[in-house]
Chains A and B, each alone.
Chain A
């Protein structure tokens, strides 16, 4: 057995022990795994490399911080509640369209922040009562929100797992828009249709109209939506019309959106909102620092090179099996950093952009899986279900469909890339 493989196994074992036995946060566990890897690799206690690695995802951390503050401000000003009410009012006569639009709305915060849990805690919490009141089963509502959160994490413009994999294989976060849309939108639409026809077969328009009229609360002015419109338009403008729109960077766009949000409604305290936002984003920020350290030590000890070379020699069937195993890691970021990075090398003959997008979809599905089953746990809190595994059970069919779509895209990755890129 080569020393690189021994180091890698020890790093994985330290990570697992730290999480499951010592109940450490995932970010700290990744750092401990990196320290153990360096010690076994004969590098001593590599302070310089740990610090160097910790900076690997500083930009992603800033994006998450500012995006979370922006989303919280949007929640506090009532803009998100206004949008969810508007969606119901616009589409309540067409239930299929309503469920599709609700799914996309739940995905929205994940698309901007790159975090799946944000979808459930913000838009998911807003649409859950609506879905329950229009007649969808409580557990199905939880499952739909959890699934939409997964697709939101994958969908562009911001996808943190792509950044993690990109950091591991030295690939810039450029040109992922279409591949990420391809792997997130079709499964999201199929999932929405699945929940519509399986769990909302007897939709009663008159009953929904009564519910809509009974909950006619605060009226929301157009100005509340200006920050959201600004953020979306500016992000598109920066990419599509870069000759005319100055490049500000995603964190600054979110900060301007936040300032606009604070101007649209009085009484929202920035410091309180920021504290709540950063508290919920903290585990992910720590994971990103830990992943950076982990990847740095993989490179330092030669494990990264060993994995790349070994991966290239894997038989065809095993490659797809390895991709199919990604969701079973139980965490999108863990899966992306540990399995995702070598798997990009495995499929090196195919389009790297499409392959990475598929791997991110596979990794993101891991957020639903035990032992943490994070999204199911959050979702169960929203719908007040004590056993979150019942939500996971409802997610199994859409998960299987999403994995099948992912594997299909992976098989034809190069052909698809030739068509869309």
Chain B
């Protein structure tokens, strides 16, 4: 149960970060966001 809840929390945070990533204008900041997103998405997809 906790596992599913934490997956949902991570999915929500990832969703918000994706919105921010798309709205961001500066490529340097987008790069930093991409680093965080990479970790989130790999975990959500159970790849790592």
Q: For chain B, which range describes its interface: under 10, 10 to 19, 20 to 34, or 35 or more residues? A: 20 to 34
Q: Chain A contacts of B45 at CB under 8 A?
A: none
Q: Report B39 CB to chain A, min CB distance, Å.
A: 5
Q: Report A75 CB to chain B, min CB distance, Å.
A: 17
If the complex has contacts A251-B6, A275-B20, are A23 and B28 also in contact, measured as CB distance less than 8 A?
yes
If the complex has contacts A66-B9, A271-B16, are A290 and B48 also in contact, measured as CB distance less than 8 A?
no
- Pick the contact of B39 from A61, A66, A251 — CB < 8 Å? A61
- Of the listed stretches A226-234, A280-288, A383-391, A396-404, chain B binds A280-288
Q: How far is the CA of A62 from the CA of B13 in the complex (A)?
A: 8
Task: Please tell me if the beta carbons of A65 and B32 are within 8 angstroms of each other in the complex.
Answer: no
Mask for A41-70, Cβ within 8 A of B = 1, else 0? 000000000011011001001100110000
Q: Report B5 CB to chain A, min CB distance, Å.
A: 6
Of all chain A residues, the one with the shortest Cβ separation from B5 is A252
Task: Please tell me if the beta carbons of A51 and B38 are within 8 angstroms of each other in the complex.
Answer: yes
Task: Please tell me if the beta carbons of A286 and B9 are within 8 angstroms of each other in the complex.
Answer: no
Q: Report B35 CB to chain A, min CB distance, Å.
A: 5
Asked if B46 is an interface residue, CB under 8 A from chain A, the answer is: no
Q: How far is the CA of A58 from the CA of B6 in the complex (A)?
A: 12
Q: Report B13 CB to chain A, min CB distance, Å.
A: 5
- Of the listed stretches A24-32, A132-140, A216-224, chain B binds A24-32
Asked if A274 is an interface residue, CB under 8 A from chain B, the answer is: yes
Q: Chain B contacts of A65 at CB under 8 A?
A: 13
Of all chain A residues, the one with the shortest Cβ separation from B16 is A274
Task: Please tell me if the beta carbons of B10 and A62 are within 8 angstroms of each other in the complex.
Answer: yes
Mask for A1-30, Cβ within 8 A of B = 1, else 0? 000000000000000000000011101100
Q: Which residues of A212-269 are within 8 A (CB) of B? A: 248-249, 251-252, 255
Asked if A278 is an interface residue, CB under 8 A from chain B, the answer is: yes
Q: How far is the CA of A331 from the CA of B31 in the complex (A)?
A: 20
Q: Report B11 CB to chain A, min CB distance, Å.
A: 12
Asked if A279 is an interface residue, CB under 8 A from chain B, the answer is: yes
Task: Please tell me if the beta carbons of B2 and A252 are within 8 angstroms of each other in the complex.
Answer: yes
Task: Please tell me if the beta carbons of A283 and B32 are within 8 angstroms of each other in the complex.
Answer: yes
Task: Please tell me if the beta carbons of B43 and A58 are within 8 angstroms of each other in the complex.
Answer: yes
Task: Please tell me if the beta carbons of A282 and B29 are within 8 angstroms of each other in the complex.
Answer: yes
Of all chain A residues, the one with the shortest Cβ separation from B39 is A54
Q: How far is the CA of A120 from the CA of B39 in the complex (A)?
A: 29
If the complex has contacts A62-B13, A271-B16, A282-B20, are A55 and B36 also in contact, measured as CB distance less than 8 A?
no
- Pick the contact of B29 from A25, A66, A248 — CB < 8 Å? A25
Q: Report A25 CB to chain B, min CB distance, Å.
A: 4
Q: Chain B contacts of A285 at CB under 8 A?
A: 36
Q: How far is the CA of A271 from the CA of B20 in the complex (A)?
A: 11
Asked if A289 is an interface residue, CB under 8 A from chain B, the answer is: yes
Task: Please tell me if the beta carbons of B35 and A27 are within 8 angstroms of each other in the complex.
Answer: yes
If the complex has contacts A51-B42, A289-B36, are A275 and B28 also in contact, measured as CB distance less than 8 A?
no
Task: Please tell me if the beta carbons of B32 and A25 are within 8 angstroms of each other in the complex.
Answer: yes
Q: Chain A contacts of B31 at CB under 8 A?
A: 24-25, 28
Of all chain A residues, the one with the shortest Cβ separation from B10 is A62
Task: Please tell me if the beta carbons of A24 and B28 are within 8 angstroms of each other in the complex.
Answer: yes
Q: How far is the CA of A142 from the CA of B5 in the complex (A)?
A: 40
Q: Chain A contacts of B20 at CB under 8 A?
A: 275, 278-279, 282
Q: Chain A contacts of B10 at CB under 8 A?
A: 62
Q: Which of B17, B32, B48 has the most CB of A within 10 A?
A: B32
Jot down 20 A-B pairs with beta carbons below 8 A, ordered by A.
A23-B28, A24-B31, A25-B28, A25-B31, A25-B32, A27-B36, A31-B35, A54-B38, A55-B43, A58-B39, A61-B39, A62-B10, A66-B13, A249-B6, A252-B6, A274-B16, A278-B17, A282-B17, A282-B20, A286-B36
9 more CB-based (< 8 A) A-B contacts, given A54-B38, A252-B5? A25-B29, A28-B28, A51-B39, A51-B42, A61-B36, A248-B2, A252-B2, A286-B33, A289-B38
Chain A residues engaging chain B, CB cutoff 8 angstroms:
23-25, 27-28, 31, 51-52, 54-55, 58, 61-62, 65-66, 248-249, 251-252, 255, 271, 274-275, 278-279, 282-283, 285-286, 289-290
